[in-house]
Structure 1
Amino acid sequence: MEKFAAVDVIRAKRDGGRLSGEQIAWVVDAYTRGAVAEEQMSALAMAVFLRGMDAGEIAAWTGAMIDSGERLALDVGRPTVDKHSTGGVGDKITLPLAPLVAACGAAVPQLSGRGLGHTGGTLDKLESIPGWRAALSAEEIVRQLREVGAVVCAATEGLAPADRKLYALRDVTGTVESIPLIASSIMSKKIAEGSSALVLDVKAGSGAFMKTEAQARELARTLVEIGTAHGVATTALLTGMDVPLGSAVGNAVEVAEAVEVLRGGGPADVVELTVALAKEMLALAGLPEADPARVLASGEAYETWCRMIRAQDGDPEAPLPKPRHVHVVTAERDGYLSVLDAYAVGIAAWRLGAGRARREEAVQHAAGILCLAKPGEAVSAGQPLLELHTDTPEAVPGALEALSGQVCIADTPVTPAPLILDTLRARP
């Protein structure tokens, strides 16, 4: 005999009511074990989408999804801190950030995902490294954290299974864009990882999930509140995503750019965001005296990167995949690059083979785009602006169509927007 009737829970939220912690715990558990049908959870997800949830409901929903599976015990001999990005174009920050923070003394359990649509996936990028494997057991994750200090891998099957089931349902029922459901999805997985602290990179702009700063701010505040309610020290950075991050967008090209950063070089915006996130992570981990800018510039973090890759059977010295075909987009006239739309570049890279439309599809590891100029820079007629990389030349026209009207040149200089818009911390 079930404790509640699913239809009563649906009606309560449909009519604008507040769900109790008991109702939420029951419905998430019952859905996970199949006692609540897909059509019933679809109706409840739509009710949440339309009616929303308050902070207490969101915390309870997150807790119920955590309780649907296991929670990693990360006793690794140093403070643990994780980072999560809401996703963007050219966002390879996890790659230099995890070994950098580890080189500064913390342990970073970075359980990551794959790309879908115009945003890339960290695991897809790393799988362009010969031999590297994403799937690790819980025991392997703990051992690598002890020995190396950083791990980037796929989430284990036992972490928040309710979220995995609900996410697939939201994807086909038009309920993805719900802040309570987005926030609880992100935080259930992150809290289940067992880290004691978390820094969030919540992006706003054309290439982000949240298109406006106001939407991103609401999501960031909700995420920080959930983390705080569950005893995880949480901070969120609001960052811009109207322009691709760095120069490289894709898989192998982003790995190459991350290695450049780890060796003390790389694009200024990637370095800026990597160091800013590292400072926040180290502060939450109780290591505020660490100097991530110095460690990054010195190349020390690169040594940790190599050990991290080798620990997962990858060869950090092996050549990365190269594309069979390169198409160069040039400037049509003299002027100043004024627009390089992140969403358009992300769609173009996806069409070139860097991403996937369905989760089961493969990606081309060599596919992607190199942005050879950024907004604000002077350009001259015929100057290369973009390199389109692909193994399937027939994909180039579709990529060029996505870029049409989204790479613009003006007569006068434009001032690039700031990368870091704000920092949100838990309220005292």
Structure 2
Amino acid sequence: MVGTLLPQELIRRKRDGNELPAEAIQDFVNGIARGDIGDGQIGAFAMAVYLNGMSDAETVVLTAATRDSGQVLRWKALDLPGPLLDKHSTGGVGDLVSLVLGPWVAACGGHVPMISGRGLGHTGGTLDKLESIPGYDVSPDMARFRALVKDVGVAIIGQTADLAPADKRLYAVRDVTATVESLPLIVASILGKKLACGLDGLVMDVKVGSGAFMPTAQASRELAGSLADVATRAGTPTTALLTDMNQPLAACAGNALEVHAALRLLGGDLSDRRLYEVTRALGVEMLLMGHLAATREEARDRLDKALFSGAAAERFARMVAGLGGPNDLLERPDDHLPEAPVRLAVHADREGIVQQLDTRALGMAVVELGGGRLEASAAIDHSVGLANIAAIGERVDAERPLAIIHARDRASGERAAHQVRQATRVDDTAVRAGPLIHDAIRLEDT
């Protein structure tokens, strides 16, 4: 039984478009976590939700039940001097924000217990980037994780088996039953894991554009609104920013290459301007949510001081060392991060200005190089990727290539070069890239 409903009765009700009782949803999710509900019934439930949706109230209950299906982190005993804050991105290409943002906010007084994932499809994963650092342990024991969150202010690790276990089973079934794209199930999956971290505030980075997870700008907007609303109603105040993914966020894509880019920004190098501005905007929202700044101007000032003083870089270095990485990564990154043996400049078929990029295709070029995965169990090459990617509005010619390929052999580099050319449109028209921040959905707006 699921509460007062048999599992098949709950499925039938949702199949017929009816709203489900809160207790029935909670018990069904608990049954998934315990293993009492079989994959067939999980798949039928997911398809019924995919076809008929869920009300806002049902989605809140499903999210809270997913959160509560395993361990929910409690921090009171640690007597932390600052708020517990985190950020989650719906994924993109060249999106290394987490590597910079976590230590940056920690340097401003926040505590960031960041549970991150691996890349799948065209998007890069934060854990894959960190695992390009020799010795970095993405699966420490909970005592070590909690100690780093308290003492350093940030720890970025992978999901433990105890956090939101119902989501792991539900997502695996969704993945093979063509029900991944259901908005209520997406929201519950993302937030179930994040809210299990016991946060005081969360900022969502929802991508919009050719490299976004959602297929249209309207779908991205709906996801952002639902995430902010559901998380807040489930007890964690949440803001969502809609940020641009019509081109890679950083001028590179690939695990070790993105760690290099993160280190440059943490060192105060602002040449990757898009990366700096989006990361800073998310940091402003986090400081405001955590009451670490009273105004946006104060938040920006605090962030810039932490960056240019070296405090943010120092937090990153302490996190890396605390999780088993080298003590001198900031000073000697070339000695530790892997390098691909082949580098190949990719030139456009004609001179001109970059008009448009198929960001998803650029991400898939990295996957084809070996820097990403199409299935969760696939191994990856941390050294490969794209560097010096030309931005929309930038002129390319015989001197300025579209990108530099980092490959393990010439053949894979040539294939990637073809993909980069196919993903880029060049002509003589002057063009400017669209806004970096498309919109914001804040607590007061929901």
Does the residue aligned with 2:281 lie in a helix, a strand or coil? helix
Would you say 1:136 and 2:140 are equivalent positions? yes
Does the residue aligned with 2:416 lie in a helix, a strand or coil? helix
Between the aligned residues of both structures, percent identity stands at 44
In the alignment, which residue of structure 2 is the partner of 1:182? 186
Pairs within 5 Å for 1:128-207 = 128-207=132-211
Measured against aligned partners, the alpha-carbon deviations of 1:50-78 in whole angstroms (never above 9, x if no partner) come to: 10001100010011111210101123332
Q: In structure 2, do the counterparts of structure 1 residues 392 and 381 end up closer, same or farther at CA, with 3 Å as the change threshold?
A: closer
Q: Distance in 2 between matches of 1:355 and 1:282?
A: 32
Contact 1:30 1:36 in 2 (8 A): yes
Contact 1:199 1:280 in 2 (8 A): yes
Contact 1:88 1:241 in 2 (8 A): yes
Contact 1:32 1:162 in 2 (8 A): yes
Q: Distance in 2 between matches of 1:254 and 1:177?
A: 28
- Give, in angstroms, the shift of residue 404 of structure 1: 4.2
Contact 2:405 2:417 in 1 (8 A): no
- Give, in angstroms, the shift of residue 36 of structure 1: 1.9
Pairs within 5 Å for 1:347-358 = 347-358=364-375
Pairs within 5 Å for 1:26-425 = 26-75=27-76, 76-265=80-269, 266-288=271-293, 289-290=298-299, 291-315=302-326, 316=329, 317-318=332-333, 319=335, 320-381=337-398, 383-425=400-442
- Give, in angstroms, the shift of residue 139 of structure 1: 1.5
Q: In structure 2, do the counterparts of structure 1 residues 7 and 299 end up closer, same or farther at CA, with 3 Å as the change threshold?
A: same
Q: Distance in 1 between matches of 2:176 and 2:152?
A: 40
Q: Distance in 1 between matches of 2:420 and 2:164?
A: 38
Q: Which moved more, 1:72-81 or 1:173-182?
A: 72-81
Does the residue aligned with 2:128 lie in a helix, a strand or coil? helix
Q: Distance in 1 between matches of 2:357 and 2:231?
A: 35
Q: Distance in 2 between matches of 1:37 and 1:306?
A: 45
* Unpaired stretches in structure 1, ≥5 consecutive residues: none
Contact 2:354 2:425 in 1 (8 A): yes
Q: Distance in 1 between matches of 2:222 and 2:210?
A: 17
- Give, in angstroms, the shift of residue 361 of structure 1: 1.4
* TM-score between the two structures when normalised by the length of structure 1: 0.97
Measured against aligned partners, the alpha-carbon deviations of 1:176-235 in whole angstroms (never above 9, x if no partner) come to: 011100000010101001111100000011111113221111101111111111221110
Q: Which moved more, 1:277-286 or 1:60-69?
A: 60-69
| Superposition CA RMSD, Å | 1.5
Q: Distance in 1 between matches of 2:376 and 2:411?
A: 22
Measured against aligned partners, the alpha-carbon deviations of 1:85-113 in whole angstroms (never above 9, x if no partner) come to: 00000100001111100001111111101
Contact 2:351 2:397 in 1 (8 A): yes
Measured against aligned partners, the alpha-carbon deviations of 1:287-322 in whole angstroms (never above 9, x if no partner) come to: 114421232233321111111111111112452110
Aligned amino acid, residue 206 of structure 2? V
Q: Which moved more, 1:331-340 or 1:183-192?
A: 331-340
Q: Distance in 1 between matches of 2:390 and 2:308?
A: 23
* Unpaired stretches in structure 2, ≥5 consecutive residues: none
- Give, in angstroms, the shift of residue 422 of structure 1: 0.6
Contact 2:347 2:397 in 1 (8 A): no
Contact 2:244 2:438 in 1 (8 A): yes
Does the residue aligned with 1:208 lie in a helix, a strand or coil? coil
Measured against aligned partners, the alpha-carbon deviations of 1:240-296 in whole angstroms (never above 9, x if no partner) come to: 111011111010000000000001114000000111000100100111144212322
Does the residue aligned with 2:355 lie in a helix, a strand or coil? strand
* TM-score between the two structures when normalised by the length of structure 2: 0.93
Aligned amino acid, residue 48 of structure 2? A
Aligned amino acid, residue 189 of structure 2? S
- Give, in angstroms, the shift of residue 392 of structure 1: 3.8
Q: In structure 2, do the counterparts of structure 1 residues 2 and 204 end up closer, same or farther at CA, with 3 Å as the change threshold?
A: closer
- Give, in angstroms, the shift of residue 370 of structure 1: 0.9
